[in-house]
Amino acid sequence: MSTSSVSKGCFVFKPSAKKKQKTLGVEDYFIHGCEGTENSEQRFKLCQDLWDKMKTDTEVLQDELNRKILDSLLEFTRKCSSTFQRGADDWAARMRASEIPTAALVLGVNVPDHDMTFQSLSDLLQQSVTPHVASVQAKECGALKHLMQRVLERLMNTVVSVDEDDEEAEQTSTQLHKKGVHCSLSTLCDWYKTKTMKSNTDTPGKKRSSPVKDEHQQPPVVVIFKDLEAFNPRVLQDFVLICSRYVEHLPLMFIFGIATSPSTIQHMLPHSVSSLLCIELFQSLSCTQHLATVIDKLVLTPQFPFKLSGKVLQVLISIFLYHDFSVRNFIKGLQLALLEHFHSQPLSVLCCKKKEALVNVMQLSHQDLERVRQLPSFRRYVEKQEPQEQVNLLTDDTRIKEVCQKLIKSLRKYHKNYYPILRCLHTLTSSLPKYPLGKQIRELHILCLEKNVWENDEYQSAMQLLKMLAKDELVASLQRCAEILKPVKSKKMRNVLVQLEDLLAKFNQLDKASGETTANGEDISSPGKSLQKKTDLFQLQKTLLEMKESRRSKKMSQFEILRNEALEFIDGLVRCHLSPPESQTLSEVCYYSSSAVLRRHLNATPRTTIQTALSNPYHYLQNDSLRTEDGTVSNCAPDICIVYKLHLECGRLINLYDWLEAYATVVSAAEGKDPDSDDFGKVDEVKHARFIQAVSELEFLGFIKSTKQKTDHVARLTWGGC
C-alpha cells in the first residue's frame, strides 16, 4: 500500500487479516544458536528437568536453614500477641510506657538473599499468627507520608491517596485521605477494631460463651522494615513517635531487617525514640555457612550428573566472597553454568541419570559419535588400546557405542567413590594447624579438581602433621570417616569401611593391651630417670650419650606402627579415588569448564565496556561505515565517540574552545564539505549544541570534570587509551 500526497499528512491503514506472530518460548530461545540442533529439544528437556530438581532441593534446604530463626520470630510474635490479649501487668506497663515490641533481625550483608527470607517470614506470620502484615522498603518510603501510605495500603488492602500540596498539615497531623475519607492511624485503629470484632462474631461454628474472651482475640499488626539502614532516619523517627501514641489501642509490632550491626538502631534513632521500642535481637545463619551447605548438597554429591570444573567453581566462589556474599546469586551462577553446558555441548545429552544415559548412547547419531571421537579424554583412551581396538573405535559406530556405555558406568562409579573419600580426607585435615589443605571442603575439592592432590606440597605437609597426631585424635578422626562411609552404597566403599573398622579394632586392642600392662605394675623406664639421681659431670655426659644412642636405635612403638599403617591406607585411598576428573574418559559430557564465559556474564566490567563502545563503536553498532583501523574513529561516528577520541589527545586540562574547534573540523569532514571552503570547520549553533551534549555525557560517565583552576577548561579524570 502506498499513498501519494502533495502535503504532509497522517494516513491510517487497517491491519490485514494475517496470523498473529507466534510468541517465542524458552525452548525456542534455547534452540536458537544451539550447538548441534539435531538433539537440542532433548537437551533442553534434560536441562529443565535437572534444574527443577536442583531448584526444589535448594528451596527445601533454604527453608531448613532459615527454620530456626523463623521459628524464633514466630514464637516472639505469638508471645507478644498472647500477652496483649491477656492484658498482663507487664504488657500494661509497656503500654503505659508506650513501648512497641520490636524484633531486630540481623541478616548479614548478603542483601540479595533478604527478600526470600522476608517473604518466608511474611507467609508464616500470615498463616499462623496474624493476617495483618505489611512489608516496606526504603526506596518506596522517601518521606513520612509515603511510609504511612504504604503501611496503610498493605494493611487495609485498599488504595490510599496523599495530598501532595499540604506539606505542613502532613508533617503536623500526618493525615491522609483514603478515597475522600479522613484517614490516619486513628482511622487504622477504627478499621482494626471493626475487623477484629467482625472476625470474632462471624466465625462459623463458634459459640459466644465468653464475650470478654472474644473481645481480646486481637492479632498483632506487624510492620516489616526490610532494609533499615537505607531508611531516612528522620522519617523513621517520626513514624515511631506517631505509632507510640496508638499502642494502647493498636497492638503494633516492628521487625527491623538489619544488614550490618544492631548498633544501627542506636545510630539512626536517638534515645528518646529508641526508648519507645522494646527490642529483642535475632541473629540469622551466616552466609558462609549457608554457602557451605548449598555446595555440600548441590555440588559435592553424585546425585546430580552435572558438575563444575575447578576454574568455574573458583569463579562462582570468588564472586561470592569478593562481591556480594549472596547465596542466591551463587545459585543463579550455577543455573547459568548448567544452561550454558547443555546449550553449547551437544554431548550433554548423556548428562543425565545412568539408565537414561545408557539409552541415549545407543541413540547417538554418526555426527555425535564423531564428536565423541574428538573429545580429548576419549582420544587419550583410544591411544592406550591395542591397534585393532583403536581401528574399531575410530571406524565402527556399534563398537564405540558399546564402549561408551562402559565408560558412562565407570564415570558414575568414579563419582560415587570420589565424594566419600573427599569428605574423609577433609575430616582428617580440616583441624590441622594452618589448614594445609584448606579449612573448607570446597577448597580441598578445588585442589582435587585441578591436579593430583597427592603431588601438592600442602598434601605432604598434611601427611607429616597427621603422623604427629595423638592416639585419641587419630582414632576420633577415623571414627568420623567410618560414619561418612556407612551410608554409601558402593562395593568399593563397603570394602573400605570393613578395612577401616579393622584398623579401629586394632587401636582398641592396643588400648586394652596398654591397660593390662599398667595394671600388672610393669614400669616403663626411660633413660631420663637416671638424670634425677645425684651424679657428677662425667656420669652426666655418659648418660646423655646413652640417651642419644637409644633414640637412634629406638624401635617404633605398636601405636606408631599402627598409625603409619592407617595413614598409608588413607594415602592409598586418596591416590586411587581422588584423581582429577580430566583423567576420566567422557568427563566432558558432565563437566562445564568455560570459566571465561561465566565470568563475562556474571562479573561485568562496565569501564572496559564503555571504553570499547567509545573507542570502537563498530563493535556494538555493527555499521560498516564505522569500521576503521585500530586506534582511529570514523568521522561518521556518534558525537560522543568523536569527542572522546579528541579528549584522549589532550593533557590533564582541556581547553573547551580548542576542543570545540577540533570537533567542528571532524564533523565538517563527515558532512563532505570542501576543506578549502570558508565554512569548513566553522562552529554553528547546531554543532555547538551537539558538542555541549557530548561533553555533558562524558562528564556524566566520569571521564572529565569542571575545574576552578581555569574557567574555560575541564579536568581529565582518566589516562590511557582504549
What pLDDT score was predicted for residue 560?
Answer: 87
**Three-state secondary-structure class, residue 716:** strand
Which pLDDT band, with edges at 50, 70 and 90, does 619 fall under?
Answer: confident
Lowest-confidence region among 203-212, 430-439, 667-676? 203-212
The yes-or-no verdict on residue 683 having pLDDT over 70 is yes
Measured in residues, the chain has a length of 722
Which pLDDT band, with edges at 50, 70 and 90, does 200 fall under?
Answer: low
Burial 106-130 (b: 16+ CB within 10 A, else e): bbbebbebbeebbebbbebbeeebb
> Could you tell me which residues are beta bridge partners of residue 136?
225
> Could you tell me which residues are beta bridge partners of residue 714?
654, 706
**Alpha-carbon distance 705 to 698, whole Å?**
9
- State the DSSP H helix or E strand holding residue 253, giving kind and residue range, or none if neither: strand 252-258
pTM for the model stands at 0.80
What is the average pLDDT across 142-169?
73
> Comparing C-alpha atoms, which of 220, 202, 100 is closest to residue 155?
220
What is the average pLDDT across 99-126?
91
What is the average pLDDT across 640-654?
90
**Alpha-carbon distance 288 to 327, whole Å?**
8
The yes-or-no verdict on residue 621 having pLDDT over 60 is yes
What pLDDT score was predicted for residue 324?
Answer: 87
Give the distance from CA 353 to its chain's centroid. Answer: 27
The yes-or-no verdict on residue 48 having pLDDT over 70 is yes
The yes-or-no verdict on residue 533 having pLDDT over 60 is no
Residues ≥6 apart with Cβ < 8 Å to 372: 347, 364, 378, 400, 404, 586
What pLDDT score was predicted for residue 153?
Answer: 87
Residues ≥6 apart with Cβ < 8 Å to 53: 304
Lowest-confidence region among 13-17, 610-614, 685-689? 13-17
What pLDDT score was predicted for residue 215?
Answer: 38
What is the average pLDDT across 532-543?
69
What pLDDT score was predicted for residue 166?
Answer: 44
What pLDDT score was predicted for residue 345?
Answer: 92
What is the average pLDDT across 502-530?
65
Give the distance from CA 354 to its chain's centroid. Answer: 29
What pLDDT score was predicted for residue 80?
Answer: 81
Q: Which of 162-171, 265-274, 663-672 has the highest mean pLDDT?
A: 265-274
**Residues 350 and 361: beta-carbon distance below 8 Å:** yes
Cβ-based neighbour number of residue 518 at 10 Å: 11
Which pLDDT band, with edges at 50, 70 and 90, does 521 fall under?
Answer: very low
Per-residue pLDDT tens digits for 552-603: 656 778 888 999 999 999 999 999 999 999 999 999 999 999 999 999 888 8
HEC per residue, 387-415: HHHHHHHHHCHHHHHHHHHHHHHHHHHHH
**Residues 284 and 325: beta-carbon distance below 8 Å:** no
> Comparing C-alpha atoms, which of 360, 304, 364 is closest to residue 334?
304
Beta-strand ranges (E) seen in 166-251 are 176-178, 181-183, 221-225
Domains of the chain are 63-197+216-285 (3.40.50.300), 290-516+556-592 (no CATH), 606-716 (1.10.10)
**C-alpha grid cell for residue 484?**
561418612
**Three-state secondary-structure class, residue 59:** helix
Which pLDDT band, with edges at 50, 70 and 90, does 626 fall under?
Answer: confident
The yes-or-no verdict on residue 72 having pLDDT over 60 is yes
**C-alpha grid cell for residue 25?**
518460548
Percent of the chain with pLDDT over 90: 52
Lowest-confidence region among 281-295, 300-314, 537-551, 595-609? 537-551
Which pLDDT band, with edges at 50, 70 and 90, does 497 fall under?
Answer: very high
What is the average pLDDT across 104-132?
91
**C-alpha grid cell for residue 221?**
499488626
What pLDDT score was predicted for residue 4?
Answer: 42
**Residues 436 and 459: beta-carbon distance below 8 Å:** yes
Which pLDDT band, with edges at 50, 70 and 90, does 374 fall under?
Answer: very high
Q: Give CA torsion, residues 60, 65, 66, 68, to 10 deg.
A: 120
Percent of the chain with pLDDT over 70: 82
What is the average pLDDT across 359-373?
94
**Which alpha helices (H) appear in 553-617, and where do they start and end?**
558-577, 595-602, 606-615
Burial 208-222 (b: 16+ CB within 10 A, else e): eeeeeebeeebbbbb
Cβ-based neighbour number of residue 636 at 10 Å: 17
Per-residue pLDDT tens digits for 391-419: 999 999 999 999 999 999 999 999 999 99
The average confidence (pLDDT) of the chain is 83
What pLDDT score was predicted for residue 522?
Answer: 45
> Comparing C-alpha atoms, which of 623, 659, 621 is closest to residue 643?
659
**Alpha-carbon distance 474 to 693, whole Å?**
73
Give the distance from CA 291 to its chain's centroid. Answer: 7
Residues ≥6 apart with Cβ < 8 Å to 393: 373, 382, 385, 399, 400, 403
**Alpha-carbon distance 105 to 229, whole Å?**
12
The yes-or-no verdict on residue 447 having pLDDT over 70 is yes
**Alpha-carbon distance 612 to 524, whole Å?**
79
Per-residue pLDDT tens digits for 166-197: 444 444 334 444 444 455 788 788 888 888 87
Residues ≥6 apart with Cβ < 8 Å to 585: 377, 378, 380, 381, 407, 410, 411
Cβ-based neighbour number of residue 340 at 10 Å: 18
**Alpha-carbon distance 648 to 662, whole Å?**
12
The letter for the amino acid at 273 is V
What is the average pLDDT across 667-683?
73
**C-alpha grid cell for residue 602?**
556474571
What is the average pLDDT across 136-147?
90
Beta-strand ranges (E) seen in 284-432 are 307-308
**Residues 103 and 254: beta-carbon distance below 8 Å:** yes
What is the average pLDDT across 679-685?
76
The yes-or-no verdict on residue 93 having pLDDT over 80 is no
User: Angle between the 310-319 and 595-602 helix axes, to the nearest 10 degrees?
Assistant: 20
The yes-or-no verdict on residue 532 having pLDDT over 70 is no
What pLDDT score was predicted for residue 24?
Answer: 66
